[in-house]
Amino acid sequence: MKKILNMIQNNKGFTLIELLAVIVILAILMLVASTNIFNILDNARRGSFRTEFLTLLQSAQTTASMELMNGTLSQTQNTKCYVIGESPLSENFSNNGNYTGSVLVTLNADGSLSATGWMRSNYFTITSKTDAIGNNEGDIPASNDENNTSAITTCGGYIS
């Protein structure tokens, strides 16, 4: 009997207050961690979108180079417009993100090619290599590049 009484009196468990304090601390830690994780995920999505945009510009330049070599693009024609999803750009740029956009490729006087354009997804819009990526909530970034403004107006404006 004495052993049973000693076991009851020497109970080494946690009190309700201690358990609640641990739960509150864990909840606060999860709240802080979740906001950081959401920021990291958003930055990763933006970085991926910018990479896709740079790939689009490179694909348009590659397409224009191939057309110049094949003779289907005249050297007297100093600009060419390529639209996402349309041939011949679709051969070099796979549109897995269901993007809209266009690229204006310019044949420079020294024979090099330069590309400017815009691209839009369900979530983001980008108008230049260096501009910020805007959210599609009416926050379309304005490009500071005159050639890029030409790419938007010549090759097709924003689809709202």
Q: Residue 46 belongs to what H/E stretch?
A: helix 16-70
What was the pLDDT predicted at 26? 96
Per DSSP, the three-state class of 66 is helix
pLDDT level of residue 154 (50, 70, 90 thresholds): low
Amino acid at 35: T
* Residue 47 to residues 44, 51, 134, 152, 158, Cα–Cα distance (Å): 5, 6, 12, 22, 21
Quote the strand ranges of the chain, DSSP E: 79-83, 100-107, 113-120, 124-126, 134-135
Distance, in Å, from the CA atom of 100 to the CA atom of 98, rounded to the nearest integer, reads 7
Q: Residue 24 belongs to what H/E stretch?
A: helix 16-70
What was the pLDDT predicted at 140? 47
Full-model pTM: 0.71
Distance, in Å, from the CA atom of 147 to the CA atom of 115, rounded to the nearest integer, reads 9
pLDDT level of residue 53 (50, 70, 90 thresholds): very high
Say what percent of the chain tops pLDDT 70.
78
Phi then psi dihedrals of residue 128, to 5 deg: -160, 160
Task: Look up residue 84 and give its two tokens.
Answer: 């996402």
8 Å CB contact between 98 and 122 = yes
